[in-house]
């Protein structure tokens, strides 16, 4: 039976009302986890209202 461990990261969006993702910073963070053997399994935003994202949450897993 395979065992997994999980980690989540939260990236806050920028801008006056949010919703602006600094993609180079985001890519850097997820690529670093990928190099450590983490696999991205889910990515979603928290909604501030009217479709604006406040934070981006990414969930990763890897074998124990």
Total-model pTM: 0.84
Q: Is residue 29 scored above 90 in pLDDT?
A: yes
Beta-bridge partners for 12? 55
pLDDT of residue 15: 82
Q: Per residue in 7-25, pLDDT tens?
A: 999 999 888 777 788 999 9
Please give the Cα distance from 2 to 17 (Å, whole number).
43
Q: Are 3 and 61 in contact (CB under 8 A)?
A: no
Q: Rounded mean pLDDT of 27-55? A: 91
Question: DSSP assignment of the chain, as one string?
Answer: ---EEEEEEEEE-BSTTS-B--HHHHHHHHHHHHHTT-EEEEEEEEEEETTEEEEEEEEEEEE-
pLDDT at 14: 87
């Amino acid at each position: 039976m395979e065992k997994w461990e999980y980690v989540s990261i939260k990236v806050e969006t920028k801008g006056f009302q949010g919703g602006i993702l600094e993609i180079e910073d985001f890519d850097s963070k997820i690529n670093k986890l990928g190099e450590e053997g983490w696999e991205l399994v889910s990515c979603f935003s928290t909604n501030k209202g009217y479709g604006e994202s406040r934070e981006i949450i990414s969930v990763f897993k890897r074998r124990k």
